[in-house]
Amino acid sequence: MSLEELDHWLERLDPPPLVEGVSMLDGYLTAIITGPCSIDPHQWLRHMLGPNGRLGVEGTKQAAAIMAIVARFNAISEGLATAPQRYAPIFERTDDGTVLASPWCMGFLAAMKLRYEAWLSLGD
């Protein structure tokens, strides 16, 4: 499943997921990867997608979406580990090309809330 298809899948979920689109998803995954402690993927998938975060039956749209999310997680993780200076977040853009960073930031913040105390300890 492409990121565009994943974006459409996220838009159609009922109940709506915590993340609203690929940009917010990208921020969320980046926080999970760069956070101060490890989080079980089953926990963050359920937090991020609600009841749609359970692993689906092979061959379903849900399974394809989860695999696309895992692929993006792996791409971010590998990119930050091997060439962090080349990391480029997925930001939304308006039709005239204006960058909208807010959805990405909201996704990052949403993931921080899973281990907020651990993030706070980074400021000590």
DSSP 70-109: HHHHHHHHHHHHH-GGG-----EE-TT--EE-HHHHHHHH
Q: Produce one character per residue of 31-56: b if its CB has 16 or more CB atoms within 10 Å, e if not.
A: bbbebeeebeeeebbebbbeebbeee
User: What is the predicted pLDDT for the residue at 122?
Assistant: 83
Judge whether residue 80 has pLDDT over 90: yes
74 band by pLDDT with thresholds 50, 70 and 90? very high
What pLDDT shows up at residue 56?
63
What global pTM score does this model have? 0.91
How does the average pLDDT of the chain come out, rounded? Answer: 91
Q: Coil, helix or strand for 17? A: coil
Contact between 53 and 45 (Cβ < 8 Å): yes
